[in-house]
Amino acid sequence: MSDEFDSMMAGALTGADFAGTAAIVTGGASGIGLATAVLLASRGAQVACLDLSDEVPEPLLGLKCDVRDDAAVRAAVALAVQRFGRLDVVVANAGIGAQGTVEDNSDDEWHRVFDVNVLGVARTVRAALPALRDSDRAAVVVTSSIAAVAGIPQRALYSASKGALARTDVGDGGRRGGRRRTSERRRAWNRGHSLGGPVVGLGGRSGS
């Protein structure tokens, strides 16, 4: 690696380019959400992690919140806005997995996964939009998945939930313009996957 690349990465990881910015990250107590929260904080942002668990390392603010509960989401977002005095970035990341073909999962399981993966995002963004409209740097990031666009065997329900997110406008309907990134779609094209969304066949058991 070149010296220039090394110094760019050092700047990227230690810079304070998020100073003065406030963020919430759902599912921020572990995995990708926690890593995102830590990175944002290391670059100067104030960050609240909304999760079933409120155990997060300082200086992150842990707020216990189940994204299946609209009142809880609204209360947690309001608390973060009150604490930080603003809200600029929403990372709607909380999600759960599901395995199986379309015939393996019951209606209850479909409702359970959509309640977290899809409605949870809607509840989070809905609660945050009023505060985001006051920001001069508002951004909403939704964690979808390659499963949204590449048909993956045994992931019918999970792919459907992530595919729904990939098609959802989480801004304010273009009222104030906005940026949109469809990274899963671009990556899928780059890797030469077919764009198919959920596999609703036999999950590869006997070809489909």
Residues marked as catalytic: 158
Q: Does 113 bind ligand NAD (CB under 6 A)?
A: no
Going by the DSSP 8-state scheme, the letter that residue 175 receives in this structure is B
Beta carbon nearer to ligand NAD, 7 or 87: 87
Among 22, 47, 116, 149, binds ligand NAD (CB under 6 A): 116
Tell which one of 43, 54, 66, 141 touches ligand NAD (CB under 6 A). Answer: 66
User: In angstroms, what is the minimal distance from the CB of 201 to ligand NAD?
Assistant: 22
Gap between the Cα atoms of 38 and 33, Å rounded: 9
Closest distance of CB 6 from ligand NAD, Å: 28
33 binds ligand NAD (CB under 6 A): yes
Please report the sign of the dihedral spanned by the C-alpha atoms of residue 106, residue 110, residue 115, residue 120.
positive
Least distance from C-beta 134 to ligand NAD, angstroms?
25
Regarding beta strands 22-26 and 89-92, do their DSSP bridges make them parallel or antiparallel, or are they unpaired?
parallel
Looking at beta carbons only, is 30 or 182 nearer to ligand NAD? 30
**Integer Cα distance of 117 and 123 in angstroms:** 11
**Pick from 23, 38, 63, 67: which binds ligand NAD (CB under 6 A)?**
67
- Please tell me the distance from the alpha carbon of residue 48 to that of residue 90, in angstroms, as a whole number: 10
* Pairing state between β 139-142 and 89-92: parallel
Does residue 182 belong to the site contacting ligand NAD (CB under 6 A)? no
| Shortest distance, position 34 Cβ to ligand NAD, whole Å | 7
Distance between CA atoms of residues 101 and 152, nearest Å: 10
Is 96 a binding residue for ligand NAD by CB under 6 A? The answer is yes
**Cβ closest to ligand NAD, residue 74 vs residue 135:** 74
Under rule CB under 6 A, how many of the chain's residues touch ligand NAD?
A: 21
Residue that has been written with the tokens 């010296």 in this structure? 3
Burial 58-84, CB ≥16 within 10 A → b, else e: eebbbbebbbeebebbbebbebbbeeb
Q: Which residues ranging from 45 to 64 are in contact with ligand NAD (CB under 6 A)?
A: 51-53
* DSSP structure class, residue 116: I
Q: Would you tell me which residues interact with ligand NAD (CB under 6 A)? A: 26-27, 29-33, 51-53, 65-68, 93-96, 116, 143, 145
